[in-house]
Amino acid sequence: MSTFGTRTWNPGTLPSNDNVNPYAFSVDLNGQWFAQKGKMIAYYGQIKFEALSAGPLDSLVAHTFNSPLYAQDWIVAQGQGKLLLADRGYDVNSFDLDNGNLTVRAGNLLAFEPGLELKQSIIPGFLTLIGTGRFVAASNGPVHFVEPPIRVDPQALLGWADCPSPCHHYDHSYMRGAFGAARMVFGIGGQSGEEHQFDFTGQGTVLMQSSEAVMNEDTLLRDLEGQIGLVGTSGLQRLQNTINQRLSAERQG
């Protein structure tokens, strides 16, 4: 122990597949792990980091990484040693899946074992892990587990396990009645800021965090781009009009 109570670690004393402290996780690497770019803070041993596009990884990626949208955010760490992961000083936790499925916010997933298959969730900005293995995720404050039925603020949602995908819930009940009508007409009071939630029903577990300060705009953008393929020519033209209108409004503002 040093003077200030922080321990000095070496490759032998670093925990094996466990937390070093609430904010850092040590992976005992012996083979391959998928890791999100920029989440590795240090490593011991012979570890190589390769982009998913690297040729020899083709079959691995084909088997376990089914999300071209996020491929450029991820790397494969391979070799032997201790790999330290951390993210923005968030609380880091590892979870084991045993033939299960869990969906987690894309930006908060740090790393996972190739025993798990990664897929994009129906809900934009979330990734689903299916299979057996371990993964590491970060949360703003400790993770809080709740059971459905529950409605969750989109920003506070970290992920969910074993339950059906959520649906959107919009709450405008305060617009009813005499006061509500007055609000509607005069625009007094405005929005409660809580009209929109994700509604979970069925069996399973919902994972929550204290809300994120800002949404990752980059992820959102790429999700939008990913969905452009779903609209036809007329849809594209309409989108173009909308975007042009927004742009000219922004320029004037």
Rounded CA gap, 47 and 99, in Å? 28
Alpha helices in the chain (DSSP H): 58-64, 177-186, 217-227, 233-252
Contact segment (CB under 8 A) with another protein among 39-47, 79-87, 167-175, 235-243 equals 167-175
Rounded CA gap, 116 and 114, in Å? 5
Contact segment (CB under 8 A) with another protein among 113-121, 192-200, 234-242, 245-253 equals 192-200
Residue 144 C-alpha from the chain's centroid: 16
Q: Does 223 bind another protein (CB under 8 A)?
A: no
Chosen residue from 146, 231, 236, 239 binding another protein by CB under 8 A? 146
Q: What are phi and psi of 223, to 5 degrees?
A: -65, -40
Size of the site for another protein (CB under 8 A): 31
Site string for another protein, 199-218 (x = CB under 8 A): -------x-xxxxxx-----
Q: How far is the CB of 246 from another protein (least distance, A)?
A: 23
The residue among 115 and 189 lying less far from another protein, judged by its C-beta, is 189
Rounded CA gap, 114 and 32, in Å? 7
Rounded CA gap, 23 and 89, in Å? 6
Contact segment (CB under 8 A) with another protein among 35-43, 45-53, 138-146, 216-224 equals 138-146
Q: Does 192 bind another protein (CB under 8 A)?
A: yes
Q: Which of 216, 214, 223 is nearest to 70 (CA)?
A: 223
Q: Does 181 bind another protein (CB under 8 A)?
A: no
Contact segment (CB under 8 A) with another protein among 126-134, 135-143, 223-231, 236-244 equals 135-143
Q: State whether residue 213 is helix, strand or coil.
A: coil
In the complex, which residues of this chain contact another protein (CB under 8 A)?
140-142, 144, 146, 149-153, 156, 171, 173-174, 183, 188-195, 197, 206, 208-213
